[in-house]
Chain A
Amino acid sequence: MWIIAPLVCGLIFGAGLLISGMVQPTKVLAFLDIFGAWDPSLAVVMVAALAVAVPGFILANRRSQPWLAPQYFWPGKAAIDLPLVTGAALFGIGWGLVGLCPGPALESLATLSPGVIVFVVAMAAGMVLHDGWQQSRLLAERDGRLARATDG
Chain B
Amino acid sequence: MANFTPVSAAIGGALIGLSAVLLMLSTGRIAGVSGIFSGLLNLRSEDKGWRGAFIAGLILAPVIAGWIGYGMAQPKLPSNWAVIVAAGLLVGFGSRLGGGCTSGHGICGLGRLSPRSITATIVFMVTAVITVAVTHHVLGG
Instruction: Decide: B60 and A88 in contact? CB cutoff 8 A.
Output: no
> Which residue in chain B gives the minimum CB-CB distance to A91?
B94
| Residue of B10, B101, B103, B136 touching A44 (CB-CB under 8 A) | B10
Q: How far is the CB of B141 from the nearest CB of chain A, in Å? A: 10
Instruction: Decide: B123 and A88 in contact? CB cutoff 8 A.
Output: yes
Complex Cα distance, B18 from A13, in Å, reads 8
Complex Cα distance, B78 from A27, in Å, reads 14
| Residue of A19, A45, A94, A100 touching B75 (CB-CB under 8 A) | A100
Known contacts A88-B120, A118-B88; is A14 also within 8 Å of B59 by CB? yes
Instruction: Decide: A21 and B8 in contact? CB cutoff 8 A.
Output: yes
Instruction: Decide: B88 and A125 in contact? CB cutoff 8 A.
Output: yes
Instruction: Decide: B88 and A53 in contact? CB cutoff 8 A.
Output: no
User: In the assembled complex, which residues on chain B have CB atoms less than 8 Å from the CB atom of A95?
Assistant: 87, 91, 102, 124, 128, 131
Q: How far is the CB of B102 from the nearest CB of chain A, in Å? A: 5
Complex Cα distance, B135 from A126, in Å, reads 22
Binding site for A on B (CB under 8 A): 1-6, 8-31, 33-34, 37-38, 41-42, 49-51, 53-65, 70, 72-78, 81, 83-117, 119-121, 123-133, 135-137
Q: Nearest 8 CB-CB pairs, A to B?
A: A10-B57, A126-B92, A20-B12, A87-B98, A14-B61, A122-B88, A96-B131, A94-B90
12 contacts between A and B (CB under 8 A): A21-B12, A23-B75, A25-B76, A48-B11, A52-B14, A84-B97, A87-B97, A96-B132, A98-B78, A108-B62, A110-B72, A125-B89
Q: A6-B50, A57-B112 are in contact. List 7 more A-B contacts (CB 8 A).
A: A6-B23, A14-B57, A14-B59, A18-B70, A48-B10, A90-B90, A102-B33
